[in-house]
Amino acid sequence: MSTPLFHLALPSDWEEAQRRGVYEISTRGATLTQVGFMHLSYEHQWPQVRAAFYGDVEELVLLTIDAEQIEADVVVEVGNPQTGEEFPHLYAPLPVAAVREVRVLSGDAEALREDH
């Protein structure tokens, strides 16, 4: 079994993906087409991403992704040049069928980071 991957999404973006069968948002306010890849994270990374980029958003969904269900390659690359920390990136749309769990996150990002 592969390591699960994670992606934070706005509920409206996830709802649209379910209608279309694919998710194509790279990160907050930017599409896959605009950025060229979809930002993903490992389990230990998503709370810091939540705090850094979505701290002012009251409700998000956390997508847990089965990488084995994605036909395109997931590329691990430096996502933070200051620290050299590597993050997984997907250079293709995410099939909705590859999402094995959707968790609603609401409230304070700092509190969520402390929980994980």
Cβ of 72: how many Cβ atoms within 10 Å?
13
- 24-45: pLDDT as tens digits: 999 999 999 999 999 999 999 9
Query: pLDDT at residue 115 above 60?
Result: no
Residue linked to tokens 């993050």: 87
Query: pLDDT at residue 15 above 50?
Result: yes
pTM: 0.88
What are the E-state strand segments in 46-113?
59-65, 74-80, 85-90, 94-95, 99-106
- 49-95: pLDDT as tens digits: 999 999 999 999 999 999 999 999 899 999 888 889 999 999 999 99
Assign 3-class secondary structure to 24-49: CEEECCEEHHHHCCEECECCCCHHHH
What residues contact residue 76 under an 8 Å CB cut-off, 6+ apart? 86, 87, 88, 89
Residue 56: enclosing H or E segment and its boundaries?
none
Are the C-beta atoms of 23 and 9 separated by less than 8 Å?
yes
Are the C-beta atoms of 4 and 70 separated by less than 8 Å?
no
Q: Between 109 and 114, name the one with better pLDDT.
A: 109
